[in-house]
């Protein structure tokens, strides 16, 4: 019975997916999609693999996701690969293995020469070798015209806002701006200009896999007006049909900015 169901899925899903793509309204495609790649460890446990194999399976699903984004016309994708909290709350041996997998995934994306890579996060908290590889991936893809892919490694939303404020203060200190003058002129846009994603559109849609329904610190500032889509699938099991359902759900919503 299971084999029959799998065979039916292989036959029916492509036709269903093609139909969904065909009827997506071009003017209601999100420009920027943020994705929380959650559930790798639970997936590994469920299928009898170790944690590292779960993370690798998740890494292997990134390239297909970017292809699906290209297909529907998404221009910016932010992938949360590692939080700043993970740098302190994961066992050292697990963290070392995860960083190695992340390095390999980002290098693979850069080698494809299809997407522009942009690291976002507190790179100063990462091992020097990891930070250098992320920067090298960015440099080697800077000239490309493909999707802009923000790889959030060592990322935390509160840390990003704190970093933005620090950068803003340092910038005005070099100009000789007094604290009183800065207090008078500072506004939302001034802070936004110093975020990791400065110059980019805020995410229209944020997808979280694994059934969890919380932000966990992902793009706290930028997601003020985002739409959210929570998917039950664990990240390694996230398929094209799941992605298209998220895009379709987004396109069907009436966005209410500011309330």
Residues assigned a catalytic role: 38, 86
Q: Determine if residue 150 is labeled as part of a ligand binding site.
A: no
Q: Determine if residue 40 is labeled as part of a ligand binding site.
A: yes
Contacts of 119 (CB under 8 A, 6+ apart): 106, 131, 134, 135, 137, 138, 150, 151, 153
Q: Determine if residue 41 is labeled as part of a ligand binding site.
A: yes
Q: Determine if residue 237 is labeled as part of a ligand binding site.
A: no
Q: Determine if residue 85 is labeled as part of a ligand binding site.
A: yes
3-state secondary structure of 208: strand
Q: Determine if residue 27 is labeled as part of a ligand binding site.
A: no
Q: Determine if residue 227 is labeled as part of a ligand binding site.
A: yes
Pairing label, strands 148-155, 116-120: parallel
Neighbours of 88 (CB within 10 A): 9
Half-sphere exposure of 30 (CA within 13 A, CB side): 33
110/112 Cα distance (integer angstroms) = 5
Binding residues for Mg(2+): 38, 227
In the annotated binding site, the residues are 38-43, 83-85, 90, 208, 227
Residues contributing to the annotated binding site for substrate: 39-43, 83-85, 90, 208
């Amino acid at each position: 019975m299971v084999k029959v169901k799998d065979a039916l899925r292989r036959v029916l899903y492509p036709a269903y997916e093609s139909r969904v793509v065909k009827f997506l309204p071009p003017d209601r495609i999100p420009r920027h999609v943020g994705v929380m790649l959650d559930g790798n460890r639970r997936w590994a446990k469920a299928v009898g693999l170790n944690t590292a194999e779960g993370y690798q399976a998740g890494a292997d699903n990134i390239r297909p996701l970017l292809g699906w984004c290209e297909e529907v016309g998404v221009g910016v994708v932010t992938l949360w690969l590692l939080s700043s909290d993970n740098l302190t709350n994961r066992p050292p041996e697990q963290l070392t293995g995860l960083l190695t997998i992340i390095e390999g995934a980002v290098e693979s994306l850069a080698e494809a020469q299809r997407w522009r890579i942009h690291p976002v996060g507190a790179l100063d908290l990462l091992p020097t070798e990891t930070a250098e590889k992320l920067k090298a991936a960015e440099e080697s893809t800077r000239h490309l015209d493909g999707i802009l892919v923000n790889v959030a490694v060592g990322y935390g939303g509160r840390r990003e806002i704190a970093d933005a404020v620090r950068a803003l203060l340092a910038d005005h200190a070099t100009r000789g701006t007094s604290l009183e003058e800065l207090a008078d002129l500072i506004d939302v846009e001034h802070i936004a200009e110093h975020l990791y994603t400065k110059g980019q559109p805020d995410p229209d849609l944020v997808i979280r896999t694994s059934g969890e329904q919380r932000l966990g610190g992902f793009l706290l500032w930028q997601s003020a007006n985002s739409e959210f889509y929570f998917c039950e699938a664990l990240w390694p099991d996230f398929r094209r049909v799941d992605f298209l359902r998220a895009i379709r759900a987004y396109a069907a919503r009436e966005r209410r900015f500011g309330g």
